[in-house]
Structure 1
C-alpha cells in the first residue's frame, strides 16, 4: 500500500501553519517535509511529532492508498 500525506498539507493550510513552523514545533528537519511532499516513507516517530505539533491524530494527516493490481 502507498501512503498519501495530502491530508496533512490540507490541515496545515486550515490551521495556517507553514512548513517552517511545523518543523520548529515538531523538532525535525526539512528532509522530513520533502519526504512528506513526495509521499515517501516517514518514520513513525516523525509522524508522532507531527501529530503532537498539530494536536491531531494519525488519520488526520495520512491515508493509505491501495495499489492497483497488476503493477
Structure 2
C-alpha cells in the first residue's frame, strides 16, 4: 500500500513553514526530506520527529492511498 505525505505539505503551508524549516525543527536529514517529497518510505523515527516538531499526530501528516486496479483503469474488466 502506498503512502502520501500531501497532508504534511499542506500542514507546512498552514503553519507558514518551509521544507528547510521542517528539516531543522525535526532534526531530520535532507535525504529523509527528499524521500518524503517522493512519497517514499521513511523510518518511524523520522515520522515521530516530525510529529513532535509540528505538535501533531501521524494521521495529520500522512495517509494511505489504496492501490489502483490497472484493469479497471484501462476500461477492461477482470474475469
Q: TM-score range by the shorter chain?
A: over 0.9
Matched, 1:55 2:64: no
Query: For 1:16-46, what per-residue CA distance to the aligned partner results, in whole angstroms no more than 9, with x for missing partners?
Result: 1111111111111111111001000010000
Alpha-carbon distance in 2 for matches of 1:7, 1:41:
15
Gaps of 5+ in 2: 72-79
CA RMSD in angstroms, aligned pairs only: 1.2
Q: CA deviation at 1:70?
A: 5.3
Tell which has more relative contact order, 1 or 2 (C-alpha 8 A, sep 6+). Answer: 1
Please tell me whether Structure 1 or Structure 2 has the larger radius of gyration of its CA atoms.
Answer: 2
TM-score w.r.t. structure 2 length?
0.84
